[in-house]
Chains A and B, each alone.
Chain A
Amino acid sequence: AQKVTQAQTEISVVEKEDVTLDCVYETRDTTYYLFWYKQPPSGELVFLIRRNSFDEQNEISGRYSWNFQKSTSSFNFTITASQVVDSAVYFCALTPLYSTLTFGKGTMLLVSP
């Protein structure tokens, strides 16, 4: 069985601070996919990134960056120069090949002006 742990339940920062959201996963499969989703107060889960287990390259997209490390089973997400609009709940998720998507409990990020 697979598992995703997001140890940070809630994080509060002030605008323009950098913030890192942690994600640790467990799976016995060698082929798997990792995801990050954002859930603003409206409720809709917004897809941010998808990574497969064979691609450990870090990725940067604007103010967002992701650090995937298989050695520590982690897939951390950093927001640089946070903005109030980044306030949301962020979910990390894992799906081994031929299995279903498992979500972490989520991290609520509150960015204050």
Chain B
Amino acid sequence: KAGVTQTPRYLIKTRGQQVTLSCSPISGHRSVSWYQQTPGQGLQFLFEYFSETQRNKGNFPGRFSGRQFSNSRSEMNVSTLELGDSALYLCASSLAAGNRGDTQYFGPGTRLTVL
């Protein structure tokens, strides 16, 4: 079974631009969660989608948004990029809703650099 895939793997953007990251979960998994990883803050939860509905949202500004499609694929969007948005963005999928303790399986991440 294929794992979680994320595209693109690397992105370089400039301040003020917007970016869209994509995530395809493991086949059959209906929940997708997004995390931001930085050296200073570590791994921080962004949001979770289950059956096209946002179930939980972390403490991030409204510039960070996401959505999930009927095939469970998910995208996250960051608008008006700031230098501090430079990070590794990780997507994870699970069979059921992640907040029920189900194991989350992670993709390889998208490394975003904001110049």
Q: Which residues of A come within 8 Å of B, CB atoms?
A: 31-33, 35, 37, 42-47, 50, 52, 91, 95, 97-106
Contact = CB atoms under 8 A, between A and B. Distances in A.
B25 interface: no
Contacts of B106: 37, 44-47
* B contact face: mostly helix, strand, loop, or mixed: strand
Interface of B: 33, 42-43, 45, 48, 56, 58, 88, 90, 92, 98-101, 103-109, 111
A52 B101 contact: yes
Contacts of B107: 44
Contacts of A105: 42
Interface-centre pick from B43, B98, B104, B106 (highest chain A CB count, 10 A): B43
Contact of A32 (B45, B92, B101): B101
A103 B46 CA distance: 13
30 contacts: A31-B101, A42-B108, A43-B88, A43-B109, A43-B111, A44-B106, A44-B107, A44-B108, A44-B109, A45-B106, A46-B106, A47-B106, A50-B103, A52-B101, A95-B101, A97-B101, A98-B100, A99-B99, A100-B33, A100-B45, A100-B56, A100-B58, A100-B99, A101-B98, A102-B45, A103-B42, A103-B43, A104-B42, A105-B42, A106-B42
Contacts of B101: 31-33, 50, 52, 95, 97
